[in-house]
């Protein structure tokens, strides 16, 4: 009886108007519906082309990092590894980490980092590619960075955000990738989201 009376938890579908304006590209500030992750074409740690098709019919967790970062990235990567451990036998869920310094993070550098961090190929893609495309994805699709910057080597202030993306390429959650409580919440939300597809 109790389960009948308890409303099922449904995750919000995030639109640019629902997110801190600092994280949203000015061209999207009035977008109230139909926001989706744009198509992309990037290379992973094995030199394979990764596109939206790689994530077709998948739920995935996305973030932005760089391999030489000594501050929040190692914590974020450790937490991504923890998520990978929880979902490694779940064919419905994947991970996607974009480098914000593609000029440093070549395929070979990402491969080295992937081996060091225990990345499972086919489950977790670390991607590099055209800097402009990565930055546009961060600003206009994932609503994940604070500025497009001044053109210097670190002209994008990436955040600790992890984004939960559904099978329709919509953002369903934002989480602090450095906070263990948020990682637990993210894992719970993956379970909630999976129920939508049952």
Query: CATH no. for residue 39?
Result: 3.40.30.10
Asked whether residue 2 is domain-assigned, the answer is no
Q: What pLDDT sits at residue 18?
A: 86
Please tell me the predicted confidence (pLDDT) of residue 153: 46
Give the pLDDT confidence score for residue 162 in this predicted structure.
Answer: 96
Q: Is residue 5 in a domain?
A: no
What pLDDT, on a 0 to 100 scale, did the predictor assign at position 152? 47
Question: Residue 27: its pLDDT value, please?
Answer: 75
Task: Note down the domain range covering 66.
Answer: 11-196
Q: In which element (H, E) is residue 65 found?
A: strand 59-65
- Is 4 inside a domain boundary? no
Domains identified in the chain, total number: 1
pLDDT of res. 7: 65
Residue 21: per-residue pLDDT: 76
Give me the helix-helix angle, 107-117 and 73-87, nearest 10°: 70
Global pTM reads 0.90
In a domain, 137, yes or no: yes
The confidence score (pLDDT) of residue 125 equals 98
Averages of pLDDT over each 10 residues, the chain, 198 residues: 64 88 74 88 98 97 92 92 97 96 96 97 97 90 71 61 96 96 97 93
Q: Is residue 3 part of a domain?
A: no
Q: Give the pLDDT score at 143.
A: 87
- Residue 139 belongs to a domain: yes
1 in a structural domain: no
Return the pLDDT at 70.
86
Residue appearing with tokens 């579908």? 13
Q: What is the dihedral of CA 12, 15, 16, 21, to 10 degrees?
A: -20
Instruction: Look at residues 186, 184, 139, 141 and name the one whose alpha carbon lies nearest to residue 162.
Output: 186
Which among 92, 97, 102, 100 has a CA at the least distance from the CA of 129?
A: 102
DSSP β-ladder status, 59-65 and 161-165: antiparallel
Task: Judge whether 6 lies within some domain.
Answer: no
pLDDT for the residue 166:
97
């Amino acid at each position: 009886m109790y389960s009948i009376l308890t409303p099922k938890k449904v995750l919000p579908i995030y639109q640019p108007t629902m997110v801190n304006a600092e994280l949203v590209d000015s061209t999207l500030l009035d977008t109230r519906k139909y926001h989706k992750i744009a198509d992309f074409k990037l290379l992973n740690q094995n030199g394979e082309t990764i596109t939206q098709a790689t994530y077709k019919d998948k739920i995935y967790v996305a973030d932005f990092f760089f391999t030489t970062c000594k501050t929040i990235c190692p914590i974020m990567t450790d937490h991504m590894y923890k998520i990978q451990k929880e979902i490694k036998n779940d064919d419905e869920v994947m991970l996607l980490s974009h480098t914000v310094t593609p000029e440093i993070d070549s395929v070979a550098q990402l491969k080295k980092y992937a081996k060091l961090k225990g990345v499972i190929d086919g489950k977790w893609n670390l991607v590099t590619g055209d800097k402009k495309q990565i930055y546009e994805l961060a600003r206009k699709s994932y609503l994940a960075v604070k500025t497009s910057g001044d053109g210097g080597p670190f002209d994008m202030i990436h955040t600790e955000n992890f984004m939960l993306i559904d099978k329709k390429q919509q953002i369903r959650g934002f989480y602090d990738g450095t906070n263990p409580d948020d990682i637990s919440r993210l894992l719970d939300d993956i379970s909630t989201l999976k129920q939508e597809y049952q």
